[in-house]
Amino acid sequence: KARAAAARANQADAQAQADAKQARTAANQAYADATAARNAATQAEAEAARARGAAAEADNHAAAASSAASLAEKEASVAQGAAA
């Protein structure tokens, strides 16, 4: 009886060790997945920041072009006045 009980205990211990190893593997995979997700989020943030910068630069160019057009209109108006 004692031998059978010891065998059952050994079997239960081996099963517990296998379960613990499986749980560790799953935890490591979950950590790796979370790290990959964090990295992807960081990259997306950086790309969004670059896009915002590009949009701001385009706004600046548009404002400069508008100013230049306004100035050209004024100069044309002055030239017309001088010609008249």
The answer to whether residue 84 scores a pLDDT higher than 80 is no
Q: Return the pLDDT at 42.
A: 98
The answer to whether residue 28 scores a pLDDT higher than 80 is yes
Q: Return the pLDDT at 81.
A: 87
**CA–CA separation, 51 and 64 (whole Å):** 20
User: Where does the pLDDT of residue 48 fall: very low under 50, low under 70, confident under 90, or very high at 90 and above?
Assistant: very high
DSSP-based three-state secondary structure for 33: helix
- Mean pLDDT for 8-12 is 96
